[in-house]
Structure 1
Amino acid sequence: MDYGKYTLDNGLKLKLYTSMLKPRMIEEKMLILLRQGKISKWFSGIGQEAISVGVAMAMDPKEYILPMHRNLGVFTSRNIPLHRLFSQWQGKASGFTNGRDRSFHFGTQEYKIVGMISHLGPQLGVADGIALAELLKKRKRVTAVFTGEGATSEGDFHEALNIAAVWDLPVLFCIENNGYGLSTPTNEQFKCEHLADKGIGYGMESHIVDGNNILEVYTKIGALCKSIRENPRPVLVEFKTFRMRGHEEASGMKYVPQELLDQWAAKDPLENYVRYLNTENILSAEAEETYKKEILHEIDDNLKLAFAEEEIEADTGKELFSVYKEYDYEEVKPGAIIKNIRLVDAISDGLRQSMERHGNLVILGQDIAEYGGVFKITDGFINTFGKDRVRNTPICESAVVSAAMGLSINGMKAVMEMQFADFVSSGFNPIVNYLAKSHYRWEENANVVIRMPCGGGVAAGPFHSQTNEAWFTKTPGLKVVYPAFPYDAKGLLATAINDPNPVLFFEHKALYRSIYQNVPTDYYTLPLGKASLLKQGEDISVVSYGAGVHWALETLKDNKDIRADLIDLRCLQPLDIEAVFTSVKKTGKLIILQEDSLFGGVASDISALVMENCFEYLDAPVKRVASLETPIPFAKSLEDNYLPKKRFEVALLELLAY
C-alpha cells in the first residue's frame, strides 16, 4: 500500500495506528469469549478497521455517525468507555439498551452515534433527516452513514440517496464493499462494476477509496468533510475492502475461496500499516509492545467491570413504562371565539397554529408545498413558513419516514403527510421497527406525527380507501389517534405534535368536507387517550370511532326510542377502555362498530377486554359490526355493501332484543 504520499505528522500517524489497534484487540478478545460462551454473538470487522477509524477520526465529534455492526472502530474512536460497550454486548444495565437489544443496535446522543437496526436500510434515511436538521439550524456539519454492499440493493438505499441529492443534504454515504452479503458474492448482488457508479443516477458526487489504507481513508474523508461543510451536498464513497470472517461467527467462511482469503489477508490494514510505521522509524518494536500492553490492560480492566456487574432483573413495570417517552400533557384551554368549520379546515388550522408555536416543526409530504396537498390541508403554508419547513418529497414513503426520525434525533419535530393512508405500506418498516422501538431500545424518542387520510365512502377503490389503523395499534411504541369531529381533530392534532412519541393521526376523507362544527379559532389542546361520551342512555353501550361515530348517530336518530351510551373513542392507543367498562357496567350490553374489516380489528380487542373484565355485568354477548372480509371495492353498490353502516342497525336491534 502507498502510504508515503500522505503528509501527516507522525503523532497523528501513531494515533491512527493505536485507534485501529484497539478495535482489533477487542475483537480478538471477543472471539475468545465467544468460544468460551461468555458472549452470545459476534459480527467481526477484522480487516475493515481502517474505514471505521478513518471516517470517525476525520469527522468532528459533534457530527453524527450512523454505523453498522462491523464498525467497532467508530465507537472506540469516539471514546465510548469500554466497560459500557462490554456491558452492552452482555445485555447488562451499564450498556446502552438496558438489555433490550444486542451488539451495536443502539445509539447514544452523548457520543453522536446512531446505531443500526437489523433491517439496515432505514438508517440511510435517518441520516438524511439528521443532515436536514443541520442545514435548517445553519450548522456546517456532515452526517456520515454506513451501509454494506448488500443493503445497496434495498429500496431504502435508493430512496435515501435520491432525497439527499434533491435536497443537497450534507450526507456522507459510506459503502463498505466487503465482498459478500452473508454468503452471497457481489456478482450475484449487482451488475455495475463499482457501487460508486450508483451515485451517478442521482447526480451525486462519488468516490472509490482503498478501505484498507488508513491514510487514504482519513485524508480523503477529511477533505470531503471540509468541502461538504462549506458546500453542502451528499457524497457517495465506496470503500473497497473484504470481510475476513463470517457474516457472524456461526456462519463460517466455507463459501469463500481460499485464494481470495489469502489475497485479502495480504492487504490487512493494520499489519501493512505497522510495517510502514516500522520502516519509517515512526513506531519502534518497544513502543508497539507498550501500546499493546496498555490496550490489553484497558480491555481486561473494563471486562472485569462488565463481568462483575449483576445480570439485569426483569421489572415488568419498568419495561412497560419504557415503551414511550414520558410526556406531561400541557392543557391549553380553548378561547371563546368560535367558527363553524369543516373537519378539513380544523386540521389545517391546527397544523398551521402548531407551525407558528413550534419553530422547529417541519412538514414533509408529497405535493404539500405549492399545491397545498391533495386535500389542500397545507394550502398557502409555504407563503407563511417557507419551503424549508414545508417540504415536497419525492415518492418514497420509507425514506421520508426515516428522515422524519432523523429530524427528531437532531432536536426537531416532524409531521409527515401520507398522501393516502393506504400508501403507508411503503413506509411500514421504519414506522413499526424504527420509530416504535427506539425509545424502548435506547431511550431515543421519535417526535413524529404521520397524518393518515383514510377511509371509504368516496368510491376510491382498494388502494385509496382503506382504514388501516389496526396495522399500528398492535405495535407497542406507537400512538394512534382517530377523531370524528372538527373540534376533536384540531385539539388532538395539537397534542399529537406536542407529544414526543410517534403518533399515527387518522383523518377520514369522507368526513373532511361533510362534517361541520363550531371550533375555537385559537390554539388549544385535548388529551390523548380520553374518549368522548356523546349520548347517554341505559339500554346499550355503542362504541365507535371515525366515520362509524356518524353512522351510529344517524342510526340512533332514526331509532329515537333507543336509550344508548354512545362513546367516541377518539384515540385508539392509548385506549380509554375504562370509559367502555363504566358504560358496560351501567347498560349490560355492548356493540362495537368499526369501518375496518372485522378480524383482528380494534373491536376484537375491546370485546376481549370487556369479556375479561366485565363479564358478570353483561346481559348479552358483546357484538362486533365491521366491514366485509374483502378488500374495499370501487363501485358504489359494492362499496355500500362492503361498509357496515346498514348492517349496524340490524345488529343493534338484535342485540337489544336478546
Structure 2
Amino acid sequence: MKFNRKDYTDDDLLHLYRGILKPRMIEEKMLILLRQGKVSKWFSGIGQEAISVGSTLALDPDEYILPLHRNLGVFTCRDIPLDRLFAQFQGKRTGFTKGRDRSFHFGSNEHHIVGMISHLGPQLAVADGIALAEMLDKREKVTLVYSGDGGASEGDFHEALNVAAVWGLPVIFVIENNGYGLSTPSNEQFKCQYFIDKGPAYGIDALQIDGNNVLEVYDTVRQAAYSIRKNPRPMLIEAMTFRMRGHEEASGTKYVPQELFERWSKKDPVENFEKYLLDEKVLTPKLLAAIREEFREEIERGLEVAHNTPMPTPDVKEELADMYAPFIQNVIKPRDSARSERRFVDAISDSLRQSLERYPDLVIMGQDIAEYGGVFKVTEGFVEKFGKERIRNTPLCESAILGIGLGMSIRKKKSVVEMQFADFVSAGFSQIVNNLAKSHYRWGQNADVVVRMPTGAGAAAGPFHSQSNESWFFHTPGLKIVYPSTPYDAKGLLNAAIEDPNPVMFFEHKLLYRSLTETIPDDYYTVEIGRARLAQEGNDFSIITYGMGVHWAKQLLNTMPEVSADILDLRSLLPWDKEAVRQTVTKTGRVIVLHEDTLTGGIGAEIAAWISENCFTQLDGPVVRVGGLDTAIPFAPPLEQEFLPVKRLRERVEALLSF
C-alpha cells in the first residue's frame, strides 16, 4: 500500500492515525463483550475503518454524514462521548434512542449525523433532502452518505442518485464496495464491474479509490468536498475494500473464500498506516504506546459508565407521547369576514398558496406540479408566484421525494409532497412507515412533511387510480391522517397539517374536487386536527363516516324523510375523535360505520371494535360496517358502482332500523 502525504503535516497524519486507531480498539473490545453477552449484536467494520475515518475528517464538523452498520469511525471522529455510544449499543436510556433502537440506528443533530434504518437505501434520499436545504439556504455545504455494494441494488439508490443529478445537489455518495451483500457476492448483485461505471449514466462524476488507504480516502474526499462547495453537484466515490468479519458476528464467514482473507489481511488499513508512520518517523513506539493507553482508558471509562447505567424502565405514557413531536394546535380564525364561493380543489389550492406565503421555508414537491400545475391543476400558477426552487417538479421517484422531505425537516424546513394519485404512494411506502413515522420516536427528529393523496373511486379510473388506501397508514403510529369532506374543512385542515411538525397523510377525494362548492373564508384559517363534526343531526341512528361517505349518507337520508340520523364526519382518522363517537352512540344507540375502502381490515373495523368495547351498554343493536367490496376496484362503470358501498348502505340502514 502506497501513501502519498503530499503537503500534509506530521500533525495531519497523526490526526488521521488517532482517528483510525480508536474505532479499531473499540471494535476489538466490542467483540469481547459480545462473547460475554454484554452486547446483543455487532456489525463489525474491521478492515473498513479507513473509509469512515478518512471521509469524516475530510468534511467540516457541521456537514452532515449519514452512516451505515460499519461506520463506527464516523461517530468517534465526530467526538460522540463513548459512554453514550456504549449505552446506545446496550439499549440503555442514556443512549441516543432511549433504548428504542440499536447500534447505529440513531442520529444526533449536535454531531451532524443521521443514522440508518435497516432498509439501508432510504437514507440516500434523506441525504438529498439535507443537501437541498443547504443549497436553498445558500450555504456552501456538502452532505455525505454511504451505501454498501449490496444496498446499492435497491431502487432507492437509483432514485437518490438520479434526483441529486437532476437537481445538482451537493451530495457525495460513498459506495463501500467490499464484494459482498451479506453472503451474496458482487457478481450476483450487479453486472457491471465497478460502481464508477454508473456515474456517467447519471451524468455525475465518479471516482474509485483504495478504501483501505486512509490518506487516499481523506485527500480524495477533501478535494471533492472543496470542489462541490464551490460548484454544487453530486459525486460518486467507490471505495474498494473488504469486510474481514461476517455481515454480523452470528452470520460467520464460511461463504467467503479463504484466499480473500489472506490477500486483504495484507491491506489492513490500521496496520499499514501505522507502519508507514513509524517508517516516516512521524510516529514513535513510545508515542504509539501512549496513544493506545489513552484510548484504552477512555474506552474503559465509557464502558464503566454505560455498564452502571440501568436498563430503561417502561413508561407507557412517555412511549406513546414520543411517537410524535410535541405540538399543541391553536386553532386560527380568519382575520376578516370576506368569504367566497370555492370549489374543493380551489380550497386546497388556497391553502397551499397561503401556507407558502406564511412559511418561507415551505417547499412543495411532486410530479408535474410546476408549469403544468399538477394533473388536477391544484398548483397552477404557483411557479410564477413562488419560483421553481419552492415549487419543484420531481422525477417519477416517490420514495426519494418522501425521503427528501425528511432530510429537509432535519434542516428545519417544511415540505408538502404530492402523490399524483394516492395509489402511487406504495412506491414510497417504506419511507413513510419506517422513516417518517418512526423518526421522532427513535431519535427525536420530527418529520415535518405533509403527503397529499388524491384518492377515491367513482371516475372509472380502474384498479390503480382509484384506491382508498388510508387504512394502510392507520396502523402506523407516528403518522397523522386527515380526510376532509368539504371545501371549508379541506382548506382549514390542510393549513393545520402544514402547521403541524409531524408527518400527515392528507387525503383528498378526487370526485369532490370540482363537484362540491362552499362559501369559505378568503383569509388563512385552521381547523382542529383530531376533532370530528356533526354534519347532520338526528335521533334514530348514527352514521360514522368520512370523505365521500358523508355525502352518500346525506343523499340516502334525503330519500328517507321518515327517519333522522346523526352523520358524524370524522375528518381526522389518526387521531380520531373518540369522544364524539361516544356521544353519538350514546344518543342514538344504533350505529353504522361507513367508508369507501374495502370492508375487511378497514378503519371501520377498529371504530366498531372500540364502540363494542367502550359503549356496549348504550347499544340497541349490533355495530354495522358498510364498505367497498373486498376486490380490486374495477374499471367498467357498472362494476365500479357495485364495488362502492352506496347500494349496500341503504340495505344495512333498513336492516338496522328493523333490528
Same fold? TM cut 0.5 = yes
| Distance in structure 1 (CA, Å) of the matches to 2:458 and 2:339 | 29
Written as runs of structure 1 = structure 2, the 5 A alignment for 1:162-561 is: 162-334=162-334, 335-561=336-562
1:354-395: CA deviation from partner (whole Å, max 9, x where unpaired): 000000000000000000000000000000100000000000
Aligned equivalents of 1:197, 1:84: Cα separation in 2: 40
Cα separation, 2, equivalents of 1:519 and 1:196: 56
For 2:173 and 2:196, locate their aligned partners in 1 and report how far apart those are by CA, in whole Å.
Answer: 10
2:431 partner letter? P
- Given that residues 4 and 215 in structure 2 are in contact (C-alpha distance below 8 angstroms), is that contact kept between their aligned partners in structure 1? no
CA contact (8 A) 2:122 2:400 kept: yes
Secondary structure of 1:620's counterpart equals coil
Return structure 1 stretches of 4+ with deviation > 4 angstroms.
none
1:90-109 equivalent positions in 2, closer than 5 A: 90-109=90-109
Q: What's 1:38 paired with?
A: 38
Amino acid at match of 1:116: M
Q: Could you tell me whether the CA contact under 8 Å between 2:371 and 2:383 is conserved in 1? A: yes
Deviation of the 1:410 alpha carbon: 1.1
Counterpart of 1:653 in structure 2 is: 654
| Mapped partners of 1:583, 1:425: distance in 2 | 35
Q: Which amino acid in the other structure matches residue 518 of structure 2?
A: Q
Q: How does 1:15-26 map to 2 (within 5 A)?
A: 15-26=15-26
Aligned 8 A contact 1:344 1:513 in 2: yes
Report the count of equivalent residues: 658
3-state SS of paired residue (1:465): coil
The residue type equivalent to 1:498 in the other structure is E
Cα distance in 2 for residues equivalent to 1:272 and 1:487: 69
Is the contact made by 1:393 and 1:400 (CA closer than 8 Å) also made in structure 2? yes
Matching residue's letter, 2:442: R
1:332 deviates by: 1.1
Q: CA deviation at 1:7?
A: 2.5
Deviations 1:203-228 (A, max 9, x none): 01000010001110101100000000
Q: Distance in 2 between matches of 1:4 and 1:458?
A: 67
Aligned counterparts of 2:444 and 2:480: Cα–Cα separation in 1: 17
Distance 1:246 1:321 in 2: 38
Q: In the alignment, is the contact (CA less than 8 A) between 2:535 and 2:550 conserved in 1?
A: no
TM-score normalised to the size of structure 1? 0.99
Equivalent residue letter for 2:110:
E
Give the gaps of 5 or more residues in structure 1.
Answer: none
1:534 Cα deviation (Å)?
Answer: 1.4
Q: Deviations over 1:320-378 (max 9, x none)?
A: 11111111112210231111111000000001000000000000000000000000000
Higher mean displacement: 379-388 or 530-539: 530-539
Q: Which residue of 2 aligns with 1:130?
A: 130
CA-to-aligned-CA distance 1:398-417 (integer Å, 9 cap, x gap): 11110111111111000000
The SS at the match of 1:466 is coil
Question: In the TM superposition, what are the counterparts of 1:65-104 in structure 2 within 5 Å?
Answer: 65-104=65-104
Q: Tell me which residue corresponds to 1:596.
A: 597
Residue 639 of structure 2 aligns to which amino acid in structure 1? Answer: L
Q: Secondary structure at the match of 1:32?
A: helix
- SS of the equivalent of 2:141 reads coil
- CA distance in 2 between counterparts of 1:560 and 1:79 reads 73
Kept after mapping to 2: 8 A contact 1:6/1:215: no
CA distance in structure 2 between the partners assigned to 1:252 and 1:640 by the alignment: 57
- Counterpart of 1:292, as a letter, is R
- Equivalent-residue separation in structure 1 for 2:366 and 2:246 (angstroms): 41
Q: Which amino acid aligns with 1:483?
A: P
2:109 counterpart SS class: coil
Structure 2: distance between partners of 1:4 and 1:204: 26
Partner of residue 7, structure 2: 7
Alignment check: 8 A CA contact 2:92 2:312 kept: yes
Give the superposition deviation at 1:200.
1.5
Deviations 1:108-152 (A, max 9, x none): 110000000000010000000100000000000000000100011
Amino acid at match of 1:429: S
Structure 2 distance, partners of 1:610, 1:223, is 64
| Separation in 2, partners of 1:452, 1:208 | 42
Contact 1:84 1:306 in 2 (8 A): yes
Q: CA deviation at 1:5?
A: 4.8
Cα deviation for residue 193 of structure 1 reads 1.1
SS at match of 1:517: strand
1:653: Cα distance to partner? 1.4
Tell me the amino acid that sits aligned with residue 139 of structure 1: R
Secondary structure of 2:457's counterpart equals: coil
Q: For 1:183 and 1:654, locate their aligned partners in 2 and report how far apart those are by CA, in whole Å.
A: 60
Partner of 1:148: 148
- Counterpart secondary structure, 2:373: coil
Q: Distance in 1 between matches of 2:286 and 2:532?
A: 73
Asked if 1 retains the 8 angstrom alpha-carbon contact of 2:5 and 2:215, the reply is no
| Alpha-carbon distance in structure 2 between the residues aligned to 1:609 and 1:149 | 47
Pair 1:637 & 2:638 matched: yes
Q: Percent identity?
A: 60
Q: What's the CA shift for 1:646?
A: 1.5
- In structure 2, what residue type is equivalent to 1:619? D
Counterpart of 1:621? 622
191-200 or 172-181, which deviates more: 191-200
TM-score (ref. length: structure 2): 0.99
In the TM superposition, residue 4 of structure 1 has moved relative to its aligned partner by 3.6
Q: CA deviation at 1:577?
A: 1.6
- C-alpha displacement at 1:650, in angstroms? 1.5
Instruction: Determine if contact 1:59/1:225 at 8 Å carries over to the other structure.
Output: yes
- Mark the runs of 5 or more structure 2 residues left unpaired by the alignment: none
Which residue matches 2:161? 161
Secondary structure (helix, strand or coil) at the match of 1:655 reads helix
Counterpart-to-counterpart distance in 2, 1:352 and 1:411: 20
Secondary structure of residue in 1 paired with 2:417: strand
